[in-house]
Amino acid sequence: MAPSLHPEAAIRITDSGTRKGILIGMLSAFGSAAVVAFILLLIWFFQYTQRGRILLDRLGRPGEYDDEQAFAKEEAEALETMDDMQRMEYMRAKAFVQANPPESVQTDISLSQFLAIQEKGVSAWEFEPELEIANCFVEGRTEIEFFDAECSVQSNLPVPKQNEVYYWESKVYDKPENTLISIGMSTKPYPLFQLPGWHKHSVAYVSNGQRRHNQPFTGSSYGPEYVQGDVIGCGYRPRTGTIFFTRNGKKLDDVVHGLKSQNFFPTIGANGPCQIHVNFGQLGFVFIEANVKKWGLAPMTGSLAPPPPYGSEQGSILLEGGREGIREVSKCDIRGTIRRAPDHNDRLLTFHSPSLAWLTRMRTLERALAARPQRLCRRYGETMDTQEQNLKHKKLHRTTKARKARPNEKGGGGGTRATRKTTKINGRFYSTILRTTKLRYQVMKQPLAEREEGDVIPGIQE
C-alpha cells in the first residue's frame, strides 16, 4: 500500500508548480514582445535612415556608386582640385540633375512620333542642338560639327524597346589631337553643357579609352583610344538593360546592366572642334552582326512615297501624253481643220474617247474654238450681219447695172444673154460664199461635246 503524503507537503508542491507556470508565462510574453520590438526596429531603421544601406545609384538601382558616403568623400576631394570655373560648372550640372530627374519629362514615344516613324522610317531620328548653348551645328539631320566649347547634343527620339537589340554607329570624320569626344546614351533632360557619362543616368565611351557611367570625376579603363576615321558603335538591349560599345566593327565588353526603366537617347559630346557623322540604320553598319540582323533603330524606308525623280520622267504615260497634246495645240492653225491631239499610242482621239492628258486641255480648246468665229469674220468683214448685207448689196448693184446696159431685154434691164449669164454665175458665187460662212459660224458656235467625230469646218484647208 502506497504511503500517503502529508497535507503540508502537498501544499508546498502545488505552490511550486504554480510559480513555475507563472514564470514560464511571463518569460514567453516578454520574449514575444522582444521579437516584435526587434522587427519593428528593423523596419524603422531601413525605412527612415540611409546609414549602413548600400545605394548603388542613390535611387535604389544599380550604378557606379557604392554608397552616399563614398561619393561624398570623392566629391570633396575632386572639388579641391578644380578651379573656380570647373567647380561652378559642376555645381550647375549637379543642380540641374537634381531639379530635372528623368521622370519629370514625358519621354515615351507619342502617337504623332510613332506615326512619323511609320511614315519616314529611320529618317525620323535626327539630332537637335540646344539653342541656348549653340556650340554645335547639325547638317543633314545626323552630321554634327562641334566648335571650341564643351557641349553635347541628343536625338529627338529615344531608342525603342520593342526589339531585342538596337544599335547605331558614329564615324569620327575630323578630330584634332586635343579634342575629347564622348559617345553614348543618356536620359532626357540632361545637362547638355556637360559630356555624356559625366552625370547621372548616362553612359559613354570616351575617346581617351575610358568609360563613364554616372562618373563626373574619374573614368575607368575600357578599350582602345579612338581617333579620326574610327567608327564607334553603341548597342542597347532593352530586356536586360545592357549597353555595349564597338570599335571599327569589333565588340567590346558590356558597360552596364539593368538600365530598363528609363528611356535613353543617343548622345554625343565634345570639348573641342570635331566632326561626327551618325548612322541610325539608314546605311550599312561596320559591325557585321548588326548589319546582318538589322539592329537599326527603324526600317530604312517607311510608308511615305519618295519624291519623283526630277529630270528622268521619260516613259511616263501621263507626262508624255500631256507634252504631245501641248505640242499639237500649239501647232494647230485656226484656219485649218479641227484636229484631235494623239495619245501615247499615236491614235487619233475622238471627242467621245479622250485620253487622260487630253481632258486637262478641253477647256483651253473650247475657248480657242469660241474665239474663231470673230477671227473668221474679220477675214470677210466686221460681223456676220455686215458681211451678209454687203453681199446682198453687191448682188443687187450688179443686177441693176446689167439691166441698164441692155434696156431692150425682157426684165426691164439691158445687156446681152452672156452678160445675164455672167451675172447669174456671180450671184451663185456670192451665194456659195454666204452659205459657207453661215455654216462655219454654226459649226463653231456648236458646243464641243455635241459635235460628231467627223465634223470639220468646211471651206478651210490646212
State the Cα–Cα distance between residues 344 and 318, nearest whole angstrom: 9
Domain ranges (residues) in the chain: 85-293, 317-450
The CA-atom distances, in angstroms, between 405 and each of 301, 399, 410, 443 are 95, 10, 12, 41
What was the pLDDT predicted at 458?
Answer: 46
- 105-141: pLDDT as tens digits: 888 888 999 999 998 999 999 998 887 777 889 998 9
* Fold (topology level) of 85-293: Jelly Rolls (2.60.120)
* Beta strand 265-270 pairing with 151-155: antiparallel
> What is the rounded average pLDDT of the residues 189-206?
91
- 369-427: pLDDT as tens digits: 555 554 444 444 444 555 566 666 666 667 666 666 555 544 444 445 544 444 455 55
DSSP string covering 341-387: ---TT-PPP-TTS--HHHHTTHHHHHHHHHTHHHHHHHHH-SSHHHH
Lowest mean pLDDT among 21-35, 62-76, 411-425: 411-425
Query: Do residues 251 and 287 touch, judged by C-beta distance below 8 A?
Result: yes
Q: Is the per-residue pLDDT at 54 higher than 50?
A: no
What was the pLDDT predicted at 84?
Answer: 86
- 432-459: pLDDT as tens digits: 555 655 555 565 555 555 555 544 444 4
Q: What are phi and psi of 240, to 5 degrees?
A: -105, -10
- 339-358: pLDDT as tens digits: 444 444 444 444 444 444 44
State the Cα–Cα distance between residues 257 and 237, nearest whole angstrom: 9
State the Cα–Cα distance between residues 290 and 246, nearest whole angstrom: 11
What was the pLDDT predicted at 369?
Answer: 52
Cell of 191: 545637362
What was the pLDDT predicted at 315?
Answer: 57
Q: In the Cβ-directed half-sphere of 75, how many Cα atoms lie within 13 Å? A: 15
Determine the length of the chain.
462
Q: Is the per-residue pLDDT at 271 higher than 80?
A: yes
- State the pLDDT confidence band at 431, using cuts at 50, 70 and 90: low
What was the pLDDT predicted at 204?
Answer: 94
Q: Which helix (H) or strand (E) holds 203?
A: strand 202-206
> What is the rounded average pLDDT of the residues 7-28?
68
